[in-house]
Amino acid sequence: MRESALDRRDDDAFEPVGPMTADTALARFILDLRSRGQTDAAMLTAFERLPRHLFIPGFPPERLYSPVSLPIPCGEEGTDPFSIARHLALLDIRPGHRVLEIGLGSGFQAGVMARLGASVTSYERYRSLLRLAEQAFRQAAITGVTPMLGDGLARLDRPDSFDRIILNGALDLPPTPFLDRLNPHGILVGHRRKGLETRLTLWRKDLSGQAAEQDLGPSRLGPLRGGLTLVL
């Protein structure tokens, strides 16, 4: 897979700006995506149709659409929209795809995938985050996401297979249990910890069931933690 401008992280070149309206910040974000080589009309429309402030409230629009992760409850972070766009470009989601997401977080990424026409099952280990995401889905009229409370690394409640899988965090080992749930011609996007580095990684399964691994460069995501929290 050829590296595009979207694959290269150039956050340092992002020029901070003053206060913006929501429409202006969104328009600037879409233009920035185009300048990085992302011109898929369906994806751009999906971002345009999903208000990010419903999922990560309390921040001005210029921060919501900047290439910076933002804090969300339970000590977690909401992935920045540029990284989400990169992940979704790699996944190549099409209407009708069944998607498994591990790490619901704010729910914004799952919402964008639903706007792309996917049926998304997303696991979250924090009850608080799950409830907040469900509220945002209702406000945004998102019906294509099934949020599941549970440790997605330990067990999955449904024996389904999926066309696309995304892991919102880094693992030390190859994600073999998830690859087993991936359909032929399916794509898994995740992150691998290799020594002191974290690497964005893509697995693509062929018709025979073999999965080829592709290293796509450095990643900033932290480890994908297991376990169901008892309090939060």
C-alpha–C-alpha distance, residues 124 and 105, integer Å: 7
Q: Where are the domains of the chain?
A: 20-218
| 115 Cβ contact list (under 8 Å, min separation 6) | 45, 46, 49, 50, 142, 144
Q: List pLDDT tens digits, range 18-66.
A: 678 999 999 999 999 999 999 999 999 999 999 999 999 999 999 999 9
Given this model, what pLDDT does residue 6 score?
A: 43
pTM for the complete prediction? 0.89
| pLDDT: which is higher, 160 or 94 | 94
Q: Is 185 exposed, middle or buried (0-12, 13-18, 19+ CB in 10 A)?
A: exposed
Whether the CB-CB separation of 99 and 121 falls below 8 Å is answered with: yes
Q: Calculate mean pLDDT across residues 77-96.
A: 96
Q: Number of H helices and number of E strands within the chain?
A: 7, 9
Helices (H), the chain: 22-35, 41-48, 61-64, 81-91, 108-115, 127-139, 176-179
- Distance between the two ends of the chain, CA-based, in angstroms? 40
Q: Which tens digits make up the pLDDT trace of 117-147?
A: 999 999 999 999 999 999 999 999 999 999 9
Q: In angstroms, rounded to a whole number, what is the distance separating the alpha carbons of residues 103 and 169?
A: 8
What would the two tokens of residue 207 be? 């018709």
Question: Which of the listed CATH numbers 1.10.150.120, 3.30.310.80, 3.40.50.150, 3.40.640.10 matches domain 20-218?
Answer: 3.40.50.150
